[in-house]
Amino acid sequence: MDRNGNATAPFLDAGQYTADSIQDYELVYGKAFVSPGGKACADDLIQKMALAADDLVLDAGCGLGGSAFLMASKFGLRVDAIDLSENMIALAQNRLRELDCPKTIQLKQEDCLQIDAEQKYNGIYSRDVFLHIAEKQKLFSVLHRALKVTGKLLFTDYCCSPPPWDETFSTYVENRGYHLRTVADYRALIEQAGFQVIEALDRTEDFINFSEQELDRIETLTATPFVKQHLRSDWRAKIHRAREGNQRWGQFLAIKNTQ
């Protein structure tokens, strides 16, 4: 972590996103995806942005590039896809080659907090990334600046209920080094950054449904018993935390109306 509490590349690469663990997650989420709902959910959310072909989108924290690939190949968008983790970017380069990546995707190792763009993007899309970032005000101000006027911000993220949390959940959040917010906190943060919020939704029920389908998929995987057991217990714990209520999942759509 850096001195402000944000995840750094070494923290991610040696911790949650080793090359092996990324590929284990990918087995469950589907090729080139490491976020809830995999490709089908990404497809729905990209449609929700309602961008025009040839528009330029930033995928902030692109992971293995599955969403970026879909944006370019199905929706005709130009995509800057960035991620802080070296392991993610290295694997994403392979995935985009394997998927015959359109030339309209630029993949780069970069920190969301360091984006130095002004009025560049028609849309910013981010899936389950901001939990790694402590400096939320700075984050949304950087993203606001990077969007063109009328540009849209769409993101999902792991969220939380207001404290107090039970001990299991507090320990999980601390061990992962996450910085979770409630859906209401996120709404306030994006408004403070100058966005008009179109929707701020608690989609925890959908998160549980996705996770249950993913748990079923684990049983069908060709993987070692050790890997399957590890994934199974991860997914069961995640479903349990969401059912108990402290872990929430939020979806946000906002628009930049002024400079």
Ligand X SMILES: C[S@@+](CC[C@H](N)C(=O)[O-])C[C@H]1O[C@@H](n2cnc3c(N)ncnc32)[C@H](O)[C@@H]1O
Please give the residue ranges that form the binding site for ligand X (CB under 6 A).
7, 12, 17, 33-35, 61-64, 66-67, 82-85, 88, 111-113, 127-129, 132-133
Find out whether 63 and 86 touch, Cβ atoms under 8 Å: no
Amino acid residing at 54: D
The residue nearest ligand X at its CB is 63
Smallest distance from the beta carbon of 165 to ligand X, in angstroms? 21
Find out whether 65 and 89 touch, Cβ atoms under 8 Å: no
Nearer to ligand X, 111 or 234 (CB): 111
DSSP assignment string, 47-85: HHH-PPTT-EEEEET-TTSHHHHHHHHHH--EEEEEES-
Smallest distance from the beta carbon of 216 to ligand X, in angstroms? 20
Quote the tokens at residue 207: 């998160």
Nearer to ligand X, 106 or 150 (CB): 106
Smallest distance from the beta carbon of 111 to ligand X, in angstroms? 4
Task: For the beta carbon of residue 99, count every other beta carbon within 10 angstroms.
Answer: 17
Q: What is the C-alpha separation between 29 and 214, in angstroms, rounded?
A: 7
Q: What angle do CA 246, 230, 84 make, to 5 degrees?
A: 70
Nearer to ligand X, 149 or 237 (CB): 237
Smallest distance from the beta carbon of 257 to ligand X, in angstroms? 26
Nearer to ligand X, 94 or 257 (CB): 94
Nearer to ligand X, 83 or 214 (CB): 83
Smallest distance from the beta carbon of 63 to ligand X, in angstroms? 2
Nearer to ligand X, 225 or 254 (CB): 254
**Strand-pair partners of 57:** 79, 123
> 132: burial class by Cβ within 10 Å (0-12, 13-18, 19+)?
buried
Smallest distance from the beta carbon of 225 to ligand X, in angstroms? 25
